[in-house]
Structure 1
Amino acid sequence: MIGGTDPNEGGTLTQANADIMSALRTLQQVGAADKADSILSDVETSRSYADLDSDREHNTDWLTTEYARRYISVMTDLARQLTRVASGSTTQDQDDAARCFGVKGLPGDVASLAISRRDAGDRVANTDPARLCELLATAARNGDDVLAHAILEVGVATGLADVVDDFKEAYPSLADAVDRLWTAAHRKTNVVDITNSWRVAALKPRQLSSLQDYEIQAAAAGNTGVGRWSVGQ
């Protein structure tokens, strides 16, 4: 403990930072990292600290407390926005997969379709990848949408661009969803894009740059006895 404050008790700010990283990681995993760009850009250009930067009337302790409060507010709001977008993107990804790889939206009995989809998957798994375009053409021509969906899933998973392109041509109403699934499959990573990580880190005002989360949380509460603070003016 430092100055009577537990370093593990960063409170709201620590949770906000964790939620931001979690949301960015989710967006990266579903191939939707670009959706964070406009949100981060808005925060970067918000001038949230402009009045404090030009303040010459208040002392260091007052300014530190105000910077801390503003920063926590900025980060908790960012966490809420990114979490909402990440949740929506995950739902979109699941819906895309259900409509393009599964049987969602296809006419017929759901249970029967599920059995047909399983059988189609087995058939595709035993087909030479070089013949998948030919098999897809036959499936599309005969109206065997279940088989076509099974072929697409393998095409996306194994990076067969020609299969994917043929599917989009045969099923243009699903083209956008297929593109999203392709992007997710081939840009998927469990690591947050380093550029976005830097952008998030850069949101901390320089006046708080030497402080850890628990110190910033304490400062926001008016506790100026934790650590050594020096807010430049």
Structure 2
Amino acid sequence: MTHAKIQEALEWRYATKKFDSTKKISAQDWKTLTDSLTLAPSSYGIQPWKFLVIENPAVREQLKPVSWGQTQVTDASHYVVFLYKETMDEAFVQKYINRIAEVRGAPLEALDGYKEMMVNNLVKAPEEKIRVWSQRQAYIAMGFLLETAALLKIDATPMEGFDPAAYDKILGLEGTGWKSVATVALGYRHSEDSYQNLKKVRFADEALIEYVK
């Protein structure tokens, strides 16, 4: 993909306010979008996140009132709720270590040092610190999803305007150790969404980017 195509996609995307509910994302495109989530980077590579794809229309209708009535919840082709791991425990670290050994064919004992480092830095850290850290990790994955969608010319709206506690209750997350932190609606803009015609407003490069030499 050329630099010009990437620039065009970045200029084209916007936080879609009104989706065309009749247009659906193809299975091939959706697989690429989910790849952007599963391949997103995270600290230690441990992926303290989950992504709930809400396909049930009735559940989406339940979520809409606690999302301040935003129509993207029900009208978008796909609706993803980003979850973060509230606390880190040794069992989760071991699960990740086992996965490393499986994928790379490494003996478990060779990973003892890496496991110990994660236990010391994550499991033994204050719970509030881990909550904040885990939430930040989820936003890294969101960024990958948003840019991938733009490159595919699929509209996406990142959303924080909802009641997380209500989401957790509706989605059966209470007591699971996972909590909702943000959502992304994906699909195709409605022709009546006037926001698509507005010029993108950003500060100039020199106001945002500084070079330390």
What TM-score does the superposition give when structure 1 sets the normalisation length? Answer: 0.21
- Larger helix share, 1 or 2: 1
Instruction: Select the structure of larger CA radius of gyration.
Output: 1
What TM-score does the superposition give when structure 2 sets the normalisation length? Answer: 0.22
